Chains A and B, each alone.
Chain A
Amino acid sequence: MPKHTIADILRGLEAKTFSSEEITQQYLDAIAKHDSKFNSFITVTGEQALSQARAADTARQKGAAGALCGVPIAHKDIFCTEGVRTSCASKMLDNFIAPYNATVVDRLASAGVVTLGKTNLDEFAMGSSNETSFYGPVRNPWNTDCVPGGSSGGSAAAIAAGMAPAATGTDTGGSIRQPAALCGLTGLKPTYGRVSRYGMIAFASSLDQGGPMAKTAEDNALLLQAMAGFDHRDSTSMNVAVPDYVAGLSKDLSGLKIGVPKEYFSDGLAPDIAAAIEASLDVYRKMGAEIKTISLPHTHLAVPCYYIIAPAEASTNLSRFDGVRYGYRCENPKDLDDLYTRTRAEGFGAEVKRRILIGTYALSSGFYDAYYRKAQQIRRLIKQDFDEAFKSVDIIAGPTTPNPAFALGEKVSDPVTMYLEDIYTIAVNLAGLPAISLPAGFTQGKPIGLQLIGRDFDETTLLAAAHQYQQRSDWHQQAAPGSV
């Protein structure tokens, strides 16, 4: 059964140990046989995958192989894929077949990847547990009573279970890093503007960023290489040169200054996780890094700030789902108001409605200054905290989450404690910075994530720091008990 990394697969394809068609078939078989336990895929594109794999094999034979030629991966079902349902895990888009590819999908396709299918997520990426999906919750391969995290929970579970070597994810407040942490994976949220958002269904436009999820930092580098770069179709994508991330993995990190925010080690943090993070810092010390305690004084404001800005943007981003042009439409609307009201009442799930309501409220006349404008001011303060910190350190390290994977249903009825699971990841999105989560230990048999945060557009240092840690640890090589 496949437990390969992308790097392994590329070596195998190059050495003709197996063909893309063979390895693709193995992953498709694994999905067919085991995904009923995890529910990580919404749509499996078997036929298409095999035909892409055969094309990749031909290309490789002809010596025309792209960087990822023949590597099967999965796409979070938030990226539009031409001719294939793109549901965003919502009833609203259950019937939506995108007539175009997201830029990320196009770029990975031109690098030669094979698409196994579309992975489950929280509806419209709104959630930290993958329990808000219209297609049902995803289960964590490390403990099927637990959530895989969210919103990219399907991508995380698929990789952790061995049903895909890697997948795309999106991260608005931690949606790549938190499931990566909870499923024992490595996942990178790039700098805002590094990866095009075109064709990636918007949750909160100023925070959303697509990125890779895989077992290793090396695989993250390989994927990011293909995904990153300016896109004229996304005005917020930045025209900044894309460095060679794979070459950067071996970058000399001696003298690396790592800041550890004292605010991250408060009462809410599980003691086992605090200990695992301390232990990982020792690894870095041994690698010659300098560890410094720093302060990010506005950390406590990140969650409340985020839960104004993200819902505010979402409340209008989701206005287009009105039953007029595509997607779900209620039966026999009486009139226009009825069409709107019932389409949206029936098409959206509870968490999405909750956030639309919060966002609508925050933008309402009379409340705008108190909420939205204030949140934008706080956002600037949070960004300034990081700017200040990066004057004296190169990267910032801490836990990805305060707790390991929690039980399904445990936090559904209490959204605020759910929201607090994202306390370490959210500030990074507000500041637009790149951050990576990598496996750093276990507690009660569940993975622990170490988060490294970098300067704008310095994914290279993050990937190198993660990669070189992974050469000195084997957390990332542990297989989940539920994996195939």
Chain B
Amino acid sequence: MEWEVVIGLEIHVQLTTKSKIFSGSSTAFGADANTQASAVDLAMPGTLPVLNEQAVKNAILFGLAINADICRDSVFDRKNYFYPDLPKGYQTTQMDFPIVGPGIVEITLSDGSTRSVRVHHAHLEEDAGKSLHEDYQGMSGIDLNRAGTPLIEIVSEPDMRSAEEAVAYLRKIHSIVTYLGISDGDMSQGSLRCDANVSIRPKGQEEYGTRAELKNINSFRFVERAIKTEVLRQIELIEDGGKVKQETRLYDSDKNETRPMRSKEEANDYRYFPCPDLLPVHVEQSLIDELLAGMPELPDAKRQRFESDFGLSAYDAYLLTGERAVADYFEVAANSAGDAKLAANWVNGELSASLNRDNLSINASPVSAEQLGGLIQRIRDNSISGKIAKQVFDALWNKEGDSADAIIDSKGLKQVSDSGALGAMVDEVLAANPEQVEQFRAADEGKRKKMLGFFVGQIMKASKGQANPGVINKLLNEKLGG
């Protein structure tokens, strides 16, 4: 039987506000345990929440970025359950009146095709603290630094049909929130976390299958693997005559398997009701106008601009605009190089490969956008060949010089285009390889082309890569043809 995969994602995004959503404590990551927990965060008796306006603005910005309705009077609710890292015994969240209503996110797949994924809603809520189960000899430690960190939870409709689409959607959300500057999007620090609802159904069937909720997926790669693993599990289960249970499953990235969470939460009745300590959040049109006016260029708009202004292919533009920092880097490099296409090739090619190899973010790139631009200029004016350019790039990467020019100079890598100097080199090579010259002259047009490469290679070798290939080709044709 052919199966169709149905996926919906719930994405938690930590908002980069200086202080927590309901208290003045800092939200910085990595401080000593419980040093960023005030009386309010500890839920001391009598303390009360006060809403952080910046968190509201950040949530509205996200809503505007996905063309969603902004709820003018959204309401905070209490979600009641007991857990040691939940100090109040309830999480303050939004249930019936979330701040961001339905919206749309466009995703691009690797074949260049696009799809729309509907966002059901996004709501504001507070993060819980952390329970630390190691190092406490049979006890658990509680760190409340994270308790009260503002989050938006973005809930999609079950609109994705493959793991690839889910990853593309997650990347797009990541790209939107980082473009907006409302989150650092750092999955390794938990700034962006994802739960996936996964089900399968026979292709053509309208009704959804029973879904499993996958928790704890903390990287783009794991989202793809977790979903694929879960889909295989469900297919095998059903084809063996079993039934998928609606349950929460944990993805274990070490074993690449999903397994049911031992969870009493399933039976929990959260008893949602409006939090009486907080007034409804009233949003004026003037605030929306203000936020719209200050809205940065978003990935889709940037991608279109890169295509139209720089003449880039849709795929190049898509790759370059996924991360705002990459797009910004590219723009600087392209302007300084004076050639956007070459700049795009270098950013998506050599630079991206080197960053991946050394596990660096583009902000930490040893080669600056200006340096890359300078390097490309030398390619454009034929000072260096593409091959030498890679050498220069590596030298820049290793901080062997401040600019491409400095490295070209100090290493004597400038391309030789002088036909006198190159003519002598060509003559030497031809003289050293009389057999090949004979064969070339006897060969037909088709074979000649291939054989010409041999001579070019010999001359490049002799010139240590500095000979201008165009000039060599011309000289060879003259001399061999003669």
Contact A320 B89, CB 8 Å, known A235-B279, A364-B271: yes
**Which single member of A79, A205, A325 contacts B43 (CB below 8 Å)?**
A325
Does residue A58 face the partner (Cβ distance < 8 Å to B)?
no
The residue in chain B whose Cβ has the minimal distance to the Cβ of A237 is B48
Is B324 in the interface zone, CB < 8 Å from A? Answer: no
Kindly state whether residue B391 has any CB partner on chain A within 8 Å: no
The segment from A194-202, A262-270, A281-289 found at the interface with B is A194-202
Q: Shortest beta-carbon distance, B264 to chain A, in Å?
A: 9
Residues from chain B with Cβ under 8 Å of A205 in the complex: 276-277
Q: Which residues of B contact A321 (CB under 8 A)?
A: 45
Those of B33-76 within 8 Å (CB) of chain A: 39, 42-51
Interface status of B88 (Cβ within 8 A of chain A): yes
Which of A4-12, A41-49, A92-100, A253-261 lies at the binding interface?
A92-100
Q: Among the interface residues B47, B84, B269, B279, which one has the most CB atoms of the partner chain A within 10 A?
A: B47
A83–B176 Cα distance when bound, in Å, is 48
Q: How far is the CA of A204 from the CA of B276 in the complex (A)?
A: 8
- Report yes or no: B44 in contact with A364, Cβ–Cβ below 8 A: no
Given A205-B277, A316-B89, answer yes or no on A88-B45 (Cβ-Cβ < 8 Å).
yes
Residues of chain B within 8 A (CB-CB) of A80 are 44-46
**Complex Cα spacing A35 to B51, Å:** 43
Give complex CA distance A78, B44 in Å: 13
> B90 on the interface (CB 8 Å rule)?
yes
Distance from A247 Cβ to chain B, minimum over Cβ atoms (Å)? 31
A316 touches B277 (CB 8 A): no
- Pick the residue among B42, B44, B90, B279 that contacts A319 (CB under 8 A): B90
Bound-complex Cα distance A100 to B23 (A): 15
Query: Which residue from A201, A319, A372 sits with its C-beta under 8 Å from B80?
Result: A319
Please name all residues of chain A whose beta carbon is closer than 8 Å to the beta carbon of B273 when the two chains form the complex. Answer: 312, 316, 363, 368, 372
Chain B interface size, as a band, is 20 to 34
Q: A364-B269, A365-B269 are in contact. Are A319 and B88 (CB under 8 A)?
A: yes
Check A233 for interface membership: any CB of B closer than 8 A.
yes
Contact of A324 among B39, B142, B279 (CB under 8 A): B142
- Interface membership of B82, Cβ < 8 A: yes
CA distance A480 to B45 in the complex (A): 35
Instruction: Return chain B residues, CB-CB under 8 Å to A86.
Output: 45-46
Of all chain A residues, the one with the shortest Cβ separation from B22 is A235
Cα(A232)–Cα(B80), bound, Å: 26
Which B residues are in CB contact (< 8 Å) with A324? 84, 87, 142
C-beta contact mask, A308-342 vs B, less than 8 Å → 1, else 0?
A: 00001101101111101110000000001000100
Determine chain B's interface SS by DSSP, over half rule. Answer: loop
Complex Cα–Cα for A360 and B45 (A): 20
CA distance A230 to B443 in the complex (A): 97
Would you call B88 and A320 a contact (CB within 8 A)? yes
Which A residues are CB-close (under 8 A) to B201?
Answer: none
A324 to B131, CA, bound (A): 12
Q: Which of B214-267 contact A (CB under 8 A)?
A: none
Which residues of A are found within 8 Å of B51, using beta-carbon distances? 235
B 85-110 contacts with A by CB, 8 A = 87-90
A198 to B278 alpha-carbon distance, docked (Å): 13
Decide if A198 touches B46 in the complex (CB within 8 Å): yes
Chain B hits for A363, CB < 8 A? 80, 271-273
Say whether B271 contacts A360, CB under 8 Å. Answer: yes
User: Are B87 and A100 within 8 A (Cβ)?
Assistant: no
Distance (whole angstroms) from the CB of B300 to the closest CB of chain A: 37
Which B-chain residue is minimally distant from A313 (CB atoms)? B276
By the criterion CB–CB under 8 Å, are B45 and A98 in contact? yes
Asked whether B12 is an interface residue with its Cβ less than 8 Å from the other chain, the reply is no
A86 to chain B: closest residue by CB? B45
A235 touches B48 (CB 8 A): yes
Interface string of A342-378 (1 = CB under 8 A from B): 0000000000000000001001110010001000000
Instruction: Write the nearest CB–CB distance from B226 to chain A, whole angstroms.
Output: 28
C-alpha spacing A235/B82, complex, angstroms: 25
Contact indicator A98/B80 (Cβ below 8 Å): no
Most chain A C-beta atoms within 10 Å of own C-beta, residue among B88, B277, B278 = B277
> Is A234 close to B, CB under 8 A?
yes
Residue B303 at the chain A interface, CB threshold 8 Å: no
Within 12-29 of A, Cβ neighbours of B (below 8 Å) are at none
Given the complex of chains A and B, what is the CA–CA distance between A336 and B264 in angstroms?
A: 12
A206 an interface residue at 8 Å Cβ cutoff?
yes
A144: chain B residues within 8 A (beta carbon): none
- Give the contacting residue for A365; candidates B39, B44, B48, B271; CB below 8 A: B271
Q: Are A320 and B271 in contact (CB under 8 A)?
A: no
- Is the CB–CB distance between A325 and B269 below 8 Å? no
- Decide: A99 and B46 in contact? CB cutoff 8 A: no
B147 to chain A, nearest CB (A): 11
Question: How distant is A435 from chain B, measured CB to nearest CB, in Å?
Answer: 20
Residue A236, interface by CB 8 Å: yes
- Residue B78 CB within 8 A of the other chain: yes
Nearest CB of chain A from residue B148's CB, rounded to whole Å:
14
**Across the interface, which residues of B come within 8 angstroms of A315, CB to CB?**
271
Asked if A407 lies at the interface with its beta carbon under 8 angstroms from chain B, I say no
Whether the pair B44, A322 counts as a contact (CB closer than 8 A) is: no
Q: List 5 A-B contacts (CB under 8 A).
A: A80-B46, A98-B44, A102-B46, A235-B278, A319-B88
What residues make up the interface of A, taking CB atoms closer than 8 Å to B?
79-80, 86, 88, 93, 96, 98-100, 102, 197-202, 204-206, 232-236, 312-313, 315-316, 318-322, 324-326, 336, 340, 360, 363-365, 368, 372
